[in-house]
């Protein structure tokens, strides 16, 4: 019989692969020339101090992340490792539950409370040292609001 | 009117996200505990000097790559950057065509001829310096052989 699963039980799907870049415009232009991508969305995330653009490429979302300040986590990543994959993000049904389940396994969750992510989502991160060097973002998408319907 | 697209025209979908790890067993155990993954496949790739395991996690394939020798590209990656995302791989319809299209844009392709990848596939790589720091693997899956059917 299968042992009871005690990890993150409500993973839905890959949301995106996040790539730290020096310039959003340069990265979008390069990937669009290479792969015939579609630009889905772009915004400034003040809290994370990043400029973000989501493109669709081979059926998957790729998020380019550029720093908007020297204290941005992306600026630190670029200083240390230069451009490259900085995170992979999975959608979860319930972010607070997923974070509690991760903590229950002894996996460090970066923030005590969820942060504001792209397009109204709630996000948090699993510590890369607990995930074989991979910064894993967990995303709870904004639910449609039908309360006024 | 849309400008003619001159890049890689036959991209199908994401094949996998490749993560360089010190130990396949440790990585599989860790991710399975965390995410309720399914192990799909594992093999030794003599040519690339890697031990590889493919797991399915949140609907996406994650490939763990561990070196089988000190001269393996994965050993070099681990020495330089330690564990983490080492590549993202896309399926293409026709690998030789895709590589020619990449070369036509001035993007460096790592090998003059395709190499042997996981599960009978043909693979080649786009140079990370031409892809914003991302090593992009292109994969042509093994076609089913109906010739004896």
Say if CB A68 and CB A83 are below 8 A apart: no
Q: Is A21 part of any domain?
A: yes
Residue A134 within a domain: yes
Kindly state whether residue A15 falls inside one of the protein's structural domains.
Answer: yes
d(CA A79, CA B117): 33
Per the prediction, chain B carries an average pLDDT of: 93
- Judged by a CB distance cut-off of 8 A, whether residue B14 touches chain A is yes
Q: Which residues contact A132 (CB under 8 A, 6 or more apart)?
A: B19, B21, B26, B27, B30, B31, B64, B83, B84
Cα A68 from Cα A6, distance rounded (Å):
38
Tell me, yes or no, whether A2 lies in a domain. no
Task: Say yes or no for a CB contact (<8 Å) between B60 and A14.
Answer: yes
Q: Is residue A149 part of a domain?
A: no
Q: Does B44 touch chain A (CB under 8 A)?
A: no
Q: Percent of chain A, pLDDT > 90?
A: 85
Mean pLDDT within A110-137: 94
Higher pLDDT, B118 or B111: B111
Rounded mean pLDDT, A84-106: 97
Asked if the model's pLDDT at residue A144 lies above 80, the reply is: no
Number of domains in chain B: 1
Asked, for residue A40, whether it belongs to a domain, the answer is: yes
Residue B118 and residue B43 in contact, taking contact as beta carbons nearer than 8 Å: yes
Once rounded to an integer, what is the mean pLDDT over residues A4-12? 91
Token duo for residue B29: 């155990």
CATH number at residue B43: 3.10.180.10
Report yes or no on A1 lying in a domain: no
Chain B residues 105-134 with CB within 8 Å of chain A: 105, 107, 126, 128, 131-134
Comparison of pLDDT for A147 and A18, the residue scoring more: A18
pLDDT at A25 over 70: yes
Question: Quick one: pLDDT band at residue B3, thresholds 50, 70, 90?
Answer: low
Contact A58 B91 (CB under 8 A): yes
pLDDT at B113 over 60: yes
* B11-20 β-sheet, strand order: B38-45, B50-57, B60-67, B11-20, B84-92, B136-140, B122-126, B115-116
pLDDT of residue A1: 46
pLDDT exceeds cutoff 60 at B149: no
Q: Over the stretch B27-55, which tens digit does the pLDDT of each residue have?
A: 999 999 999 899 999 999 998 899 999 99
pLDDT band at B147 (very low <50, low <70, confident <90, very high): low
Looking at beta carbons, which residues of chain B come within 8 Å of A11?
35-36, 57-58
Residue B1, pLDDT score: 46
Q: Is the pLDDT score of A139 beyond 80?
A: yes
- Per the model's pLDDT, the better-predicted residue between B133 and A47 turns out to be B133
Residue B35 parent element (H or E): helix B24-35
| Alpha helices by DSSP H, A5-149 | 24-35, 73-81, 95-104
How many Å apart are CA A37 and CA A56, to the nearest integer?
6
A88 touches chain B (CB under 8 A): yes
Give the range of the structural domain holding residue B44, as residue numbers without chain letter.
Answer: 11-140
C-alpha distance from residue B93 to each of A72, B7, B123, B135 (Å): 39, 14, 12, 19
Per-residue confidence (pLDDT) for residue B146, from 0 to 100: 66
Q: Give the pLDDT score at B36.
A: 87
| Within-domain flag for A147 | no
Instruction: Tell me the C-alpha distance between B132 and A23, whole Å.
Output: 10
Listing DSSP states for B64-120 in one string gives EEEESSTTSHHHHHHHHH-SEEEEEEEEES-HHHHHHHHHHTT--BS-SS-EE-GGG
Output the pLDDT for position B122. 96
Cross-chain residue pair A60–B91, CB shorter than 8 Å: no
Distance from C-alpha of A100 to C-alpha of A98, rounded to nearest angstrom:
5
A1–chain B Cβ distance below 8 A for any pair: no
Cα dihedral A107, A109, A110, A116, rounded to 10, equals 150
Helix (H) or strand (E) holding B24: helix B24-35
| Residue range B57-104, pLDDT digits in tens | 999 999 999 999 999 999 999 999 999 999 999 999 999 999 999 999
Chain B contact probe: residue of A35, A90, A93, A135 with most B CBs at under 10 A? A35
| Residue A118: predicted pLDDT | 81
The share of chain A scoring above pLDDT 70, in percent, equals 95
Asked if the model's pLDDT at residue A149 lies above 60, the reply is no
Nearest by CB: B14 against A58, A85, A132: A58
Predicted confidence (pLDDT) per residue in A63-77, tens digit: 999 999 999 999 999
Decide if pLDDT at B108 tops 90.
Answer: yes
Asked whether residue B143 carries a pLDDT value surpassing 90, the answer given is no
User: A2 pLDDT band (50/70/90 cuts)?
Assistant: low
């Amino acid at each position: 019989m299968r042992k009871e699963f005690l990890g993150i039980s409500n993973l839905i799907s890959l949301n995106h692969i996040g790539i730290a870049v020096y310039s959003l415009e340069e990265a979008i232009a390069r990937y669009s020339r290479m792969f015939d991508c579609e630009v889905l969305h772009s915004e400034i995330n003040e809290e994370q101090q990043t400029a973000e653009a989501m493109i669709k490429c081979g059926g998957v979302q790729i998020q380019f992340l550029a720093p908007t300040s020297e204290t941005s986590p992306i600026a630190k990543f670029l200083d240390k490792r230069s451009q490259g994959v900085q995170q992979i993000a999975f959608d979860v049904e319930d972010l607070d539950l997923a974070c509690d389940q991760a903590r229950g396994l002894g996996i460090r969750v970066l923030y005590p409370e969820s942060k504001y992510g792209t397009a109204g989502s709630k996000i948090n991160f699993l510590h890369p040292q607990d995930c074989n060097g991979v910064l894993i973002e967990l995303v709870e998408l904004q639910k449609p609001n039908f309360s006024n319907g």
